[in-house]
Amino acid sequence: MFVTPDFAELKKAIAAADAFDVQQALAAERIGIKGLAALLSPAAKPYMGVMAEKSAQITGRRFGRAVQLYAPLYLSSFCSNRCVYCGFSADNQIERRVLTLAEAEHEATILHDRGFNHLLLVSGEAPAKMGVAYLEELALRLRDRFAAISIEVQPLRGEEYARLFAAGITAVAVYQETYDRDVYRQVHLSGKKSDYDHRLATPALVAAAGMREVGIGALLGLSDWRAEGLAIGLHLAWLRKHFWRTALTVSFPRMRPAMGEFTPPLPVSEREMTQLIFALRIFDPDVGLLLSTREEARYRDGMLGLGPTRYSAGSCTVPGGYGNRDVTGEQFSVGDHRNIDEVSEVIRQKGFDPVRKDWDPIFQMHGRRPQSAALVI
Ligand code: SF4
């Protein structure tokens, strides 16, 4: 089982890095955890130009000029957890709803008609309102129309992930939110999500169940972003070692205004997030890096080709919001309001290829069996 090292130790390792360590990391063909710590450190600040160049080269070599596009589809705003930073927190007085299967299918059809082939199904964590049977049925209804269906919902059991994979869901995102145990306790007041270790163990469960892709990440703004980056690197390396057949992605959700008056204790600037993205790209050339519509168009456009490989577009963070723009109760406000065609056009203008489909369910026929837990050390 993956265990996060003490957060204070991670900070210490980063603070110990100097300019020589950074230069060594930038000169190396591949870097390990020590190199990642150096690139995340304040000592790397003067080297941002070199890091950008290296990150862009690696991204181009591994992913070509492709930028994958996806859209989130919010299914339910019910949640039994109390996370202080989230608009869906059980404490917040918002109008909540869970889409019926027909409504969810209707929203998906709208996204399909807008040109999306990759769907991310999102919900608050309230299994009594929206459980595995719902997701399974929805996936069965949508699988023929979408090249890829991912989920970002409550952590499930291994056999439930296997069931959803069989129904056509191929990727699962489970963000740790923060790898800092003390902060985790402070911001997750109650509900199943308040169990740090259970959440940390879930990405391995997902991979062991045979899912094609697992997404991890931390909410930027809750704790020290440099140490979060090092913890993400350690988690990635552990998952790669134990589940080499599983594709991995990292997301960079930078905190946005939400209900509940929560102010991020340690806000992360664009420049800092950029350093984090470059460092992780140099550390793990194969990892998919997601940049969502939380970020403004100007920043997303500027980052094209420099590291991120997957962009969301035209996102709405409230259930039913694609068909009805008047519904309220969003999880967070978005920073880039352009639709998929507008985002695609900018990607093309900058010399990249907007990819709406990068996977076909036909690939799934030739057996990705669950990776045996017996193989997991
Ligand atoms: S972050 Fe997720 S689990 Fe926490 S309140 Fe929001 S929707 Fe619920």
More confident residue, 377 or 57: 57
Residue-wise pLDDT tens digits, 236-271: 999 999 999 999 999 999 986 555 578 899 999 999
Mean pLDDT lowest among 32-46, 85-99, 141-155 = 85-99
Residue 334: per-residue pLDDT: 84
Which residue's CA is minimally distant from atom 4 of ligand 1? Answer: 83
Residue-wise pLDDT tens digits, 291-333: 999 999 999 999 999 999 999 998 988 899 998 877 776 666 7
The answer to whether 342 touches 316, Cβ cutoff 8 Å, is no
Residue 362: per-residue pLDDT: 53
Residue-wise pLDDT tens digits, 116-143: 999 999 999 999 999 999 999 999 999 9
| Predicted confidence (pLDDT) at residue 374 exceeds the cutoff of 50 | no
Q: Cβ atoms within 10 A of the Cβ of 234, count?
A: 18
The full set of domain ranges for the chain reads 7-361
| Predicted confidence (pLDDT) at residue 367 exceeds the cutoff of 70 | no
Query: What fold does the segment set 7-361 form as a domain?
Result: TIM Barrel (3.20.20)
Residue-wise pLDDT tens digits, 201-232: 999 999 999 999 999 999 999 999 999 999 99
Residue 79: per-residue pLDDT: 96
User: What b/e string do you get for 83-101 counting C-beta neighbours within 10 Å, with b at 16 or more?
Assistant: bebbbbbbebebebbbbee
12/19 Cα distance (integer angstroms): 16
The letter for the amino acid at 153 is: V
Q: Which residues, in sequence order, are bridge partners of residue 247?
A: 213
Residue 288: per-residue pLDDT: 98
**Which residue ranges have their beta carbon within 6 Å of ligand 1?**
79, 81, 83, 86, 88-89, 124-125, 193
Pocket test for ligand 1, best of 80, 84, 86 (most atoms within 8 A of CB): 86
